[in-house]
Amino acid sequence: MTYRELGKKVLEQAEEPLSAEEIWKRACEMGLDKERPSIGKTPWSTIGSDLGKDKKQFYVAHKKGKTFFYWLKSREREFPPQETPDSKEEDDEQSECSDTAEKQKTSLKEKDLHPLLVKFLNEDPNFKLLCKTIYHEKCLKDKKASVSGIILTSWACIFPIINIFPTIKKKL
């Protein structure tokens, strides 16, 4: 008898999901441990490993701390898993909004925002700055001055002389 068969027999008679240690204790009470050809030092660990791998017959009903509680898929209606399809749909609606917000936050890069900043500073009547974005990109030839990542710098300058002497502005 394999540990999977042992776990299946115990869980068929169980009333609720059991941890691997509880499955082993109940198997000993039922005398199923004597049907095994050999028993190692920690058979409950082997039971937990085997039941966790066999996803066709068993599933993890819930987890408390580090302990997994196993249940038969054939008896899934008696004790449904914690995450039912209904709760997933409700969570999906809420998570869709948060996912789109996260995508919007991460979809914009600094490189994309610099032209907008330059245009705003140039056309806004409060600023009227002449701006230039300088891209500090990696140099393939120079190993010493290589910078990890791309660094962007915006420079702006204003010529107050144009504001002081409006006649000069007309001549330019």
**What is the per-residue pLDDT across 117-156, written as a single tens digit (0 to 9) for each?**
888 888 888 877 777 777 766 655 555 555 555 566 666 6
Q: Are residues 65 and 145 in the same domain?
A: no
| Rounded distance between C-alpha atoms, residue 84 and residue 91, angstroms | 11
Find which of 32-46, 86-100, 104-118, 158-172 is predicted with most confidence, using mean pLDDT: 32-46
H or E element, residue 98: helix 85-107
pLDDT of 24 above 80 = yes
Residue 91 is part of which domain span? 1-107
Please say which residue of 107, 127, 142 terminates a domain: 107
Domains in the chain: how many in total? 2
Of the candidates 119, 108, 107, the one whose C-alpha atom is nearest the C-alpha of residue 154 is 119
pLDDT of 88 above 50 = no
Please say which residue of 62, 83, 107 terminates a domain: 107
Q: Are residues 67 and 116 in the same domain?
A: no
Q: Are residues 102 and 123 in the same domain?
A: no
Q: Are residues 31 and 83 in the same domain?
A: yes
Helix, strand or coil, per DSSP, at residue 115: helix
Q: Are residues 157 and 84 in the same domain?
A: no
More confident residue, 58 or 85: 58
Q: Are residues 94 and 135 in the same domain?
A: no
pLDDT of 166 above 70 = no
| Rounded distance between C-alpha atoms, residue 19 and residue 1, angstroms | 20
- CATH of residue 49's domain is 1.10.10.10
pTM of the model: 0.45
Q: Are residues 101 and 132 in the same domain?
A: no
Q: Give the pLDDT of residue 86.
A: 40
